[in-house]
């Protein structure tokens, strides 16, 4: 019982550290799929991460503003259902290249046979 509690605390602590820095990857993955506006990006992230990554709207807006500022994202304006036009974000060529290189260097290594075997062992 005591070990369960400790395990849970350690897992949460590790996950909190692990999730830091993940928002960018999830935003880029959301936009890799299609152009999206803020609510769509938020829904994508929460759904595809099984709720493990929650993003507040303010953080999302701030991140999108930064990425637009450094020219990795841009947006088109389209009619909203009601109210003002919506910003539909998408990756620029620079953003797409950045995403591709990041995935090649940091994500694909998890798919080597050796690492896949290790991860399978850990699952058992």
- Using CB under 8 A as the criterion, which residues of the chain lie in contact with another protein when the complex forms? 21, 23-24, 59, 62-63, 65-66, 69-71
With respect to another protein, which residue has the nearer C-beta, 70 or 107? 70
CB of 29 to another protein, least distance (A): 14
Whole-angstrom distance between the N-terminal and C-terminal Cα of the chain?
21
With respect to another protein, which residue has the nearer C-beta, 107 or 115? 107
CB of 50 to another protein, least distance (A): 20
């Amino acid at each position: 019982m005591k070990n369960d509690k400790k395990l849970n605390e350690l897992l949460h602590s590790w996950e909190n550290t692990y999730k830091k820095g993940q928002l960018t990857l999830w935003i880029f993955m959301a936009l890799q799929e299609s152009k999206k506006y803020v609510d769509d990006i938020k829904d994508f992230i929460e759904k595809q991460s099984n709720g493990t990554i929650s993003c507040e709207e303010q953080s999302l807006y701030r991140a999108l503003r930064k990425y637009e500022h450094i020219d990795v994202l841009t947006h088109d304006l389209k009619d909203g259902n009601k109210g003002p036009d919506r910003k539909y974000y998408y990756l620029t060529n620079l953003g797409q290249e950045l995403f591709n290189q990041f995935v090649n260097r940091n994500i694909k290594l998890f798919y080597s046979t050796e690492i896949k075997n290790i991860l399978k062992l850990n699952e058992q």
